[in-house]
């Protein structure tokens, strides 16, 4: 069994012992979340992946296991499954992607991360889109939605996800996953989690990308060499802040990681994203609003939308990440293969138009 004994409750609830072990290979770059979903049901994916990660990395030394189980099932229910894309399945995928970063990137060793830091990264992935309405920040701002009003148009959804999650934790002792932590450790973990979730705001992409890129020539970083120099002769506050910037980049990278997956998996995610955008576009059309970028089903080219996303956002980001963590190179190989597929799809689309 791939789980430790501490996750026996999850195993019983999910009847996980009947699942082919290959489907539970969360540490594989070929992991197929959709096949596992077919076997155990969407509602069990986030608890199963999260429980495995926390058990296998020893994170239950900090987090109360029983309350974690209660909490993750409640969080999973809070995701809106009628959304094509922003669901607990996406959150589970992000947790699994982050596990690959931790293992292949050797994050603990390279960045000097503590167990609190690693736990914060995974908790952030679990909650990062909690209660997402399937609409963009910009739509909520333009329609004067109460969430936008509450958060003053600043990282509207990201603030909402993390605040609602902590509200849940505080609502009942059953969900108090932090009860084992000292006051100082709780304060540190809460700060890490808030920063990580806020870093998933796409408007911060350039800031996060340039944080990594500008340090490559400064410290002569190449294929994992000299990363340690970034942390030389810095005080604890500076070290904390540098680690946070890395965590921010990595959770953002996990959030946009669909094109780093094998083609058959990526194609499913891409369709889900586009479907959700189109639903927003339909809403905007019916309300007489200007239709948002990539949201008009009558004009958007599916292959072109993917190529723009991959070549403009994902590939540059991962090319830089791989200079720091070369064992994450599998992601760039998949990206390049997926680019070729969508280029061919675009050519076929243009031929058909002619």
Instruction: Tell me which residues are annotated as active site.
Output: 86
Q: Which long-range contacts (CB under 8 A, 24 or more apart) does 62-66 make?
A: 62/115, 62/116, 62/119, 62/180, 62/181, 62/185, 62/189, 63/119, 63/177, 63/178, 63/180, 64/176, 64/177, 64/178, 64/179, 64/180, 65/6, 65/7, 66/9
Tokens of 127: 């909650």
Distance in angstroms between the alpha carbons of the first and the last residue of the chain: 55
**Three-state DSSP state, 105:** coil
Helices within the chain (DSSP H only): 8-14, 33-40, 42-56, 65-78, 88-104, 107-111, 115-127, 137-142, 146-150, 156-171, 183-198, 205-219, 236-255, 263-286, 302-309, 315-324, 330-353
- Calculate ∠ Cα 247-253-257, nearest 5°: 145
Beta bridge partners of 225: 222
What φ, ψ does residue 264 adopt, rounded to 5°?
A: -60, -30
- Between CA 105 and CA 246 the distance in angstroms is 12
User: Which pair of tokens denotes residue 217?
Assistant: 């020539």
Nearest to 98 by CA among 54, 138, 158: 54
Burial of residue 114 (CB within 10 Å: 0-12, 13-18, 19+) is middle
Question: Measured at the alpha carbon of residue 283, what is the angle toward residues 280 and 289, in degrees to the nearest 5?
Answer: 100
């Amino acid at each position: 069994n791939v789980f430790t004994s501490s996750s026996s409750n999850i195993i019983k609830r999910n009847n996980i012992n009947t699942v082919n072990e290959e489907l539970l290979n969360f540490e594989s770059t070929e992991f197929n979340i959709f096949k596992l979903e077919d076997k155990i049901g969407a509602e069990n994916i986030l608890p199963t992946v999260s429980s495995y990660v926390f058990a296998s990395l020893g994170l239950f030394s900090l987090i109360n296991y029983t309350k974690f189980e209660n909490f993750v099932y409640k969080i999973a229910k809070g995701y809106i499954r009628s959304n094509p894309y922003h669901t607990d399945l996406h959150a589970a995928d992000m947790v699994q992607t982050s596990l690959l970063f931790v293992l292949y990137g050797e994050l603990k060793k390279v960045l000097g991360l503590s167990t609190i830091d690693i736990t914060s990264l995974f908790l952030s992935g679990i909650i990062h889109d909690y209660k997402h309405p399937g609409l963009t920040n910009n739509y909520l701002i333009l329609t004067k939605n109460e969430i936008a009003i509450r958060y003053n148009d600043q990282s509207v959804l990201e603030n909402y996800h993390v605040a609602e999650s902590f509200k849940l934790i505080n609502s009942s002792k059953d969900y108090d996953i932090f009860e084992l932590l000292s006051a100082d450790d709780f304060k540190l973990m809460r700060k890490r989690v808030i920063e990580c979730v806020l870093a998933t705001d796409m408007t911060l992409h350039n800031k996060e990308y340039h944080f990594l890129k500008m340090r490559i020539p400064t410290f002569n970083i190449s294929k994992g060499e000299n990363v340690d120099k970034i942390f030389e002769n810095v005080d604890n506050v500076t070290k904390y802040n540098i680690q946070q910037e890395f965590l921010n980049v990595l959770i953002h990278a996990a959030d946009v990681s669909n094109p780093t997956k094998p083609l058959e998996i990526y194609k499913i995610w891409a369709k889900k994203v586009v479907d959700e955008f189109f639903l927003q576009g339909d809403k905007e059309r019916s309300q007489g609003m200007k239709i948002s970028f990539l949201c008009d089903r009558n004009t958007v080219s599916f292959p072109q939308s993917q190529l723009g996303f991959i070549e403009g956002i994902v590939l540059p980001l991962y090319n830089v990440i791989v200079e720091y963590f070369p064992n994450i190179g599998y992601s760039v190989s998949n990206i390049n293969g997926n680019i070729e597929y969508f280029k061919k799809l675009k050519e076929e689309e243009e031929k058909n138009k002619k």
